[in-house]
């Protein structure tokens, strides 16, 4: 092995060890290049309007496909997984539901702090390392990079699946100007299973591996700023923020283990709130329960809109 390859291998192993100290469950590395295979798929997805009102998806097309255009000098893409699975569900079966990822503190802030720490450690260890960290904060095709780095495969529901963890994890990235030994991709293990497609109440998974984002419950309850379309009524299955249906039915999530990150534990009041508690949600309670939560993205007004829609009142 040449000295250059040896250094790249040592540094890759070092990053993985230190990332695990910060709570990341898996780390994969790819050589930065243009994602030529994704280009026609992304273009078709956008042209067919599957991004709905998410206009930001139309911008930075070239940067989405090539991280070197997003951050010049990038040589390596480091993809990281962080488990958020919480196996304690809401106690009232009639209460409007929210996706697990929103139970605890906003992952953007939790993970970005950890990534910045990791980058700080790198610079202390190796000197002047150029790079940036991202948690849903830049035009990066994060699932494509995670797949290339061997962290899993993109399932028929378009989420990344990992044989050991399932899919209840956050994705984060680091773009670095150092050479690192890359990891090899893994194979697809969805087989003939179509449980996610069959279970989606709004038929958002229009064919295996293709999700029409404008039909997804998560889109209606989080991204959509206007009124939820009337034809969706009766198909929301009581989800008021996000949706976990395709994850709940996936056989690979039988292997999911609870998160060990205390900041992703739900607020003490959250899981015990009843249907009537949610119907009578006040600004005071909202601010207390969702003080540092990703639910603040919808805001009190958005959450009350969603709850009202679930009650058959879209006003």
Catalytic center residues: 136
The 10 Å Cβ neighbour count of residue 174 is: 25
- Report whether 74 contacts 31 (CB < 8 A): no
Backbone angles phi, psi at 137, to 5 degrees: -120, 10
Written as six digits, the tokens of 52 are 């709905």
Query: 50 to each of 171, 209, 280, how far by Cα in Å?
Result: 22, 13, 34
* Number of Cβ atoms within 10 Å of the Cβ of 224: 21
Residue at token pair 């249906």: 245
**What 8-state DSSP symbol labels residue 139?**
S
d(CA 101, CA 256): 14
Tell me the C-alpha distance between 80 and 77, whole Å.
10
Would you say 138 and 115 are in contact if contact means Cβ atoms under 8 Å apart? no
**CA torsion angle for 264, 267, 268, 274 (degrees, to 10)?**
-120
- DSSP 8-class letter at 215: G
């Amino acid at each position: 092995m040449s000295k250059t390859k040896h250094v790249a291998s040592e540094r890759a192993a070092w990053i993985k060890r230190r990332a695990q100290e910060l709570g990341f469950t898996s780390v994969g590395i790819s050589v930065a290049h243009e994602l030529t295979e994704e280009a026609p798929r992304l273009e078709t997805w956008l042209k067919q309007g599957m991004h709905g009102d998410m206009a930001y998806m139309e911008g930075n097309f070239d940067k989405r496909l090539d991280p070197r255009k997003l951050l010049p000098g990038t040589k390596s893409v480091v993809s990281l997984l962080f488990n958020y699975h919480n196996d304690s569900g809401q106690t009232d079966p009639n209460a409007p539901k929210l996706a697990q990822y929103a139970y605890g503190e906003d992952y953007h802030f939790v993970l970005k702090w950890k990534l910045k720490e990791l980058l700080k450690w790198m610079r202390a260890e190796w000197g002047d390392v150029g790079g940036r960290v991202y948690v849903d904060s830049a035009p990066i095709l994060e699932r494509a990079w995670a797949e290339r780095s061997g962290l899993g495969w993109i399932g028929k529901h378009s989420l990344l699946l990992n044989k050991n963890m399932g899919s209840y994890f956050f994705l984060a990235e680091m773009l670095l100007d150092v050479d690192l030994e890359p990891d090899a991709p893994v194979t697809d293990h969805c087989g003939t299973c179509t449980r996610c497609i069959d279970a989606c109440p709004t038929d958002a998974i229009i064919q295996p591996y293709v999700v029409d984002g404008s039909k997804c419950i998560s889109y209606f309850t989080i991204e959509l700023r206007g009124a939820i379309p009337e034809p969706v009524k009766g198909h929301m299955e009581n989800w008021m923020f996000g949706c976990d249906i395709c994850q709940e039915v996936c056989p690979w999530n039988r292997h999911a283990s609870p998160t060990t990150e205390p900041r992703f534990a739900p607020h003490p009041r959250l899981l015990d709130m009843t249907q009537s508690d949610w119907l009578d949600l006040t600004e005071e309670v909202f601010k207390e329960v969702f003080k540092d939560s990703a639910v603040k993205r919808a805001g009190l007004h958005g959450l009350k809109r969603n709850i009202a829609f679930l009650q058959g009142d879209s006003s």
